[in-house]
Structures are given as C-alpha cells and as structure tokens.
Chains A and B, each alone.
Chain A
Amino acid sequence: MRNFIQFLVKNSFVFLFLFLEVIAFALLINNNNYQNSKFFNSSNYLVGNLYESVSNVTDYFNLKTTNSELAQHNAELLSVNINSFTKIYGNTILINDTSYFQKYVYTSAKVINNSTNQRENYITLDKGAINGIKPGMAVVNSNGIVGIVKNVSPNFSSVISLLHQKMSISGKLKKSEYFGSVIWDSDENNHCTATLKEIPNHVDIQNGDTIVTSGFSAIFPEGLPIGTVQYFDVPKGSNFYNIIIELTTDFKQLSHVYIVKSLQKEELDKLEALTQEDVN
C-alpha cells in the first residue's frame, strides 16, 4: 500500500495530466455531436455484437413461451390462408394474381437489445441494411405493434419503441372507426399502457374496446391491434377524451418481431407531398 502511494506521489504530474485529459475528453464527447457520434458508433458496433452473443444465450430461457407464441401465430396465419376460404361468388372467376397484389412484406427479426424503463426507449434488432431494412419501416409482433425503424447499420437496426416520448401512431377505435393518435409519456404511462388522444367526447366508448392501427400513414398495415381501453375520462373544459389503453404487446418479453415493408409507402408519400405543394 505504501509503495502504491509512493508510486502515485512520484508520478503525480502524469496522473494530473491524465485526469485533466479525461475531463477534457468527457466534455468533448458529451458536448460535441460529431465526436459523440464517432465515439458511440464505434462502441455501438462492439456492444451490438456483445448483445447478440448475450441474447443467443438468454433466448433459450424464453424458448417455451416463444414456441407457443409461434405455434399460435402459425395457426392464425393458417386460418387466414386463401386455402381456408371458400369462394362465395357463384360463377365469377377470381384470378388471384391480378385482383390481389402484395402491399406489405414481412421480415422476421430477433430482438437483441431492448429497454422499457427509460423516457426514450429503443430496441435493437439483428437484421440490417443487408437484409433490406430501411429507416421508417414498421416493426410488429404477433400480438401488436412494436415501433418504427430509426437507424440501420449493415447488420443491425435500431428501432424507436412505442414506449418513446416522441412516438405518435395513428390509431382508431375498431368499433366506431374514430381515429386519434396513440402516444406514450413516461410520466403518465408505464410499459403496459399508452394514451389515446383526439377522440371527440361524443363518441361512445366502453372499457375493453379494441384500438387498432388506422393505416393512414402507410407505415403500419391497417387493423393491427394496439391495445384495449383500460380507463377513460374527459378533462375539464376539453372536447376530447383522455383514454388510457392497455397495450397488447408485452414489451418486457419481446424476442421475435416482424419488420414490415410497405410497398406502397413511397407512392403514397409522393402523392401526398404533391397535394401539399399544390395547396401551398
């Protein structure tokens, strides 16, 4: 111990130098966007790989629930398969490949990092640009919606979770088709709930009503479950409900998700931008 102290005293000038440099670099990385992004990008690459190997191990613990979820989802898919429908149009002939065309493409991905207890939560997935993932795609799982892809690297993608301050998703009441925005605020909601706003107060609502995606933004397919009404009231002096919904997705247990690519989004965005331009 004495030798150690002697060593510290002997080299105190070097240690003071290192100490001041550490302060300088801490200031540098925290206050300058460019250096910050450089630093965190390289560390993200390391951490991303680390998370993946950790998740490779922990996945085994969830195998049972995941399996049953997948089996259930398979069953659901089979039930909507075209083969399980009988044609009801007596003598008209339906040619599948011209009357239907594909609007959404699904890619399955594994969650390798996830947070639920921050004000701004992010999820990391093991699919990236080389799998055709682009920013702005929707992420869902078999129970409901999960988030929107924010950034992609070649092998990973970072998703803004629904549990994020700045996230806002267009949702509608399945029963009455009235739509509003689903937002999440860490002060009001926990990881199981979100808030639905902008529903006018003359609409009839019951606890347990289902809220689904409206499909207006073309990011999320229409009709995916978001949650059910848990509690609602009308704030004094307001014309709109404040509705707390219980999310159908369990964000604490996310492990397999689907990334949804909308084949029509580009066309739709282009058209809407054009209309806006004409009006202005």
Chain B
Amino acid sequence: MLIDIIKHSTRFLALLLLQGLVLNNIELNDYINPFLYVLFILSLPLNASKYLVLALSFVMGIAIDTFQDTLGMHTAACVFMGFLRPYILKILEPRDGYETNFSVNIADMGMKWYATYVVIMVFAHHLFLFYVESFSFSQFFSTFGRALVSTIFTLLLISITQLFYYKPSKKRR
C-alpha cells in the first residue's frame, strides 16, 4: 500500500516535471503538443476508488495548468478523463474481472486491452482539451484535427514509456 503511494507520487512528480519543463516546449508546427502527463491518471491502480481518481485528476490538472499558465483548461480535461475512467474500465472488464495484483501497463494487461484503453482515454482527453481551448464549435474540424494529431503524438510517447515495462515485469511476476 505504502509502496504504491510512493510509486504513484513519484510518477506524478516525474510526469509533471517532464511535461512542464520539456514537453511543453515541444511545439511541432505550432499545432502538435503532446500531453504525456495523462499517463499518471491512466496508470492509477485498477482498484482505486473512483472518487480518489477524480480528485487526483483535478490535482494533476491544476498542477499542469500552473506550469502552462492556462489555469482551468487542463483541469477541466483531466476531470473529464477521471470521470470517464471507471466507465471505460467497466466496459473493457474481462469476463472474470480484473486480477487484483495487476497494475495498468502493457505487460500486465496485454497489448490489446491496453491499446484500446489508452486510445479511448487519451482521445477523450485531447478532444475535451482542444475544444475548451478554442471555446467554440465554430472551427469544428480544425480543432478536431488538432486533437487527433496531438493524440497520435501522445500515444507515441506512451508506447515509448511502455517499452520500459515490457521485459523486466515479465521476469518479476
């Protein structure tokens, strides 16, 4: 339990600093801005209370917003994502339920499950974020395109992080 708290807090800080200090400065083509920090919410334990997930999403969003100076924008998107998470998990639940000792990564959950889960969640987050940013539906397709392209880049970064998990976790468990 304690080790879980330490693990997730470390991930929170690491992702926050990575996003705030490195990834925010990457703006390819003025258009694509990857948001890797959502990995924190994605990786919270499967059995975590949904209220806790929602609260942590809020905290993560506020923290990112203070870095980006866009107070409220990422918060809204993160809270939306935290709200969706239990429903997505329920839909993707295997017939005999989740294994309690599994953590949410590609090694434990398997490629297919993890890919579906991450794509849905990240795309939902990015759509919400980009529409909040433009704050109108007047440029519907351009906003949609931006969300789509940024989603692809975020997914790319997430798959890179999953490479770290792949081998050692197979040996450990």
**Is B51's CB under 8 angstroms from A25's CB?**
no
User: Hey, what's the 0/1 contact readout for A189-203 against B, CB within 8 Å counting as 1?
Assistant: 000000000000000
CB pair A31 B54 closer than 8 Å? no
Q: Are A24 and B76 in contact, with the CB atoms below 8 A?
A: yes
A241 to B78, CA, bound (A): 59
For B77, give the chain A residue with the smallest CB separation. Answer: A24
Q: Are B71 and A27 in contact (CB under 8 A)?
A: yes
Evaluate contact between A28 and B83: CB separation under 8 angstroms: no
Whether the pair A28, B51 counts as a contact (CB closer than 8 A) is no
Which of B70, B73, B76 is the one whose CB lies under 8 Å from A21?
B76
* Contacting pair A27 B54 (CB below 8 A): no
> Considering only CB atoms and an 8 Å cut-off, how many residues of chain B contact the other chain?
20
Give the docked Cα–Cα distance between A25 and B54 (Å). Answer: 16
**Residue of chain B at shortest CB distance from A20:** B79
**Distance in angstroms between the alpha carbons of A38 and B139 in the assembled complex:** 14
Q: Which residues of B contact A14 (CB under 8 A)?
A: 83
Contact residues of B between 44 and 71, Cβ < 8 Å to A: 50-51, 54, 58, 61, 65, 70-71
Of A12, A13, A23, A24, most B-chain CB atoms within 10 Å: A24
Instruction: List the A side residues contacting B65 at CB < 8 Å.
Output: 27
Name A20-71 residues within 8 Å CB distance of B: 20-21, 23-32, 34-35, 38-39
Complex Cα spacing A39 to B136, Å: 10
Q: What is the CA–CA distance of A27 and B73 in the complex, to the nearest angstrom?
A: 8
Cross-interface CB contact of A31 among B50, B61, B72, cutoff 8 Å: B72
Docked pose: A26 CA to B73 CA in angstroms = 10
Distance to closest chain A CB from B164 (angstroms): 31
Q: Judge whether B80 is part of the interface by a CB distance below 8 angstroms.
A: yes
User: With A and B bound together, what is the CA distance between A24 and B61 in angstroms?
Assistant: 9
B73 and A32 contacting across the interface, CB-CB below 8 Å: yes
Using Cβ atoms and an 8 Å threshold, which residues of chain A touch B76?
21, 24-25, 28
Report chain A residues within 8 Å CB of B73. 24, 28, 32, 35
Say yes or no: A27 contacts B135, CB within 8 Å: no
**17 A-B residue pairs with CB within 8 Å:** A13-B83, A13-B86, A14-B83, A17-B80, A17-B82, A20-B79, A21-B76, A24-B76, A25-B72, A26-B72, A27-B75, A28-B132, A30-B72, A31-B71, A32-B70, A38-B136, A39-B135
Interface residues in chain A, defined as those with a beta carbon under 8 Å from any beta carbon in chain B = 12-14, 16-17, 20-21, 23-32, 34-35, 38-39
The chain B residues found within 8 Å of chain A, CB to CB, are: 50-51, 54, 58, 61, 65, 70-73, 75-76, 79-80, 82-83, 86, 132, 135-136
